[in-house]
Amino acid sequence: MVAHESVDDVLETVAAVAPDVRDGLPGRRLTEAGVENPSGETVTAADVHADELFFEALGAIDGVVEYASEERESVVDVGDGAPGDGNVAVAIDPLDGSSNLASNNAMGTVVGVAEDSLPAAGEALVAAAYVLYGPITTMTVAREGTVTTYVLDGGEMRAVEEDVTLPEEPVVYGFGGRVPDWPDAFREYAREVETELKLRYGGAMVGDVNQVLSYGGIFAYPALESAPNGKLRLQFEGAPIAKIVEAAGGASSDGEQSLLAVEPTELHQRVPVHVGNGAYVDRLEAALAD
Ligand SMILES: O=P(O)(O)OC[C@H]1O[C@](O)(COP(=O)(O)O)[C@@H](O)[C@@H]1O
Ligand SMILES: [Mg+2]
Ligand SMILES: [Mg+2]
């Protein structure tokens, strides 16, 4: 098998499983799983269910040899051999923004496909995608330098927008964390941005990034005084989202460099995430460097 066939299989499988994840949400509303994930966060029954569905389906693909999830402590070997030579590793945030289930707001799934063992840097990703469980279930895929958005119809991928690019005139911003917890330099930057753009923050990274991809602007979950690496995880959130935003003509940063260049040292490490139009990311980096 060659790598692109494994990548096709992974993307088609994520698309096929996503409707089942969605169908499983109503019955798991307001149900905690009673455990913490490796990041020390409360896990909902919906997080566990999504992880199980993706693990079963993705782990069964011939060319997938490693599976790592935000909900699992370590990488699981699910095939013979190592990533490379047609084999791939899959890193997944099975349900992003799952605290939005209680309030019935948008959530997502984020997936990165690498030809390297996990944890792998964003530069090693051969494809990245997110599913958005909004009024419509869509899937946005970055592959071979271009981004395509699909509507998922009964698990089938129907392309609705090819060569997705960030609009040149930015319109929206969304920043996570509490204002008093933001470092001074970020707070000053945010004060400027809020005079220029409209606030769009829904509390699920996938939904908030999709606003930026649709209207242009910037999304950030920055470093916090109480958490210098922010909240989001490099492997499961920052790197795949950066791959998609950069392939769509935007930029990403951990505050100093592209998120794709950040070398992971731990599977669940966190990283400050800033993604959006290049001009806003450049200004952010300049503001943090002062
Ligand atoms: O509740 P906050 O602090 O705004 O955090 C929201 C962020 O946390 C997340 O929900 C974390 O992702 P998970 O739901 O996958 O843990 C992001 O989707 C979102 O950007
Ligand atoms: Mg998440
Ligand atoms: Mg999650």
Q: Which domains does the chain have, with CATH numbers?
A: 3-161 (3.30.540.10), 172-289 (3.40.190.80)
pLDDT recorded at residue 62: 95
pLDDT recorded at residue 290: 81
| pLDDT value of residue 138 | 98
Distance CA 206, CA 109 (A): 8
Is 97 annotated for ligand binding? yes
Distance CA 128, CA 141 (A): 6
Determine the average pLDDT of the residues in 165-192: 98
Q: Is 173 annotated as a binding residue?
A: no
**Ligand 1 pocket, residue 248 CB under 6 Å:** no
| 289 — pLDDT class (breaks 50, 70, 90) | very high
Question: What residues contact 239, with CB distance under 8 A and at least 6 apart?
Answer: 91, 112, 120, 121, 122, 125, 128, 259, 260, 262, 264
- Calpha distance 71→272 (Å, rounded): 20
- With a 6 Å cutoff on the Cβ, whether 175 touches ligand 1 is no
* Mean pLDDT taken over the chain: 96
Task: Report whether residue 38 contacts ligand 1, using a CB cutoff of 6 Å.
Answer: no
CB atoms within 10 A of CB 42: 13
Ligand 1 geometric centre to CA of 80 (Å):
34
Question: What confidence tier does 1 reach under pLDDT thresholds 50, 70, 90?
Answer: low
pLDDT at 30: 75
Q: In the prediction, which pLDDT does 79 show? A: 95
Distance 204 CA to ligand 1 centre (A): 5
Model pLDDT, residue 2: 64
Ligand 1 neighbourhood includes 96 CB (under 6 angstroms): yes
d(CA 234, CA 240): 8
Q: For residue 161, is pLDDT > 80?
A: yes
Give 28-55 pLDDT, tens digit per residue: 887 777 888 998 888 999 999 999 999 9
Query: Which tens digits make up the pLDDT trace of 212-235?
Result: 999 999 999 999 999 999 999 999
pLDDT in tens, 96-112: 999 999 999 999 999 99
Give me the percent of the chain exceeding a pLDDT of 70: 99
Provide the 8-state DSSP code for 50.
H
**133 known ligand binder:** no
pLDDT of residue 31: 79
Q: Check if the beta carbon of residue 173 is closer than 8 Å to that of residue 197.
A: yes
Contact 200, 170 (CB under 8 A): no
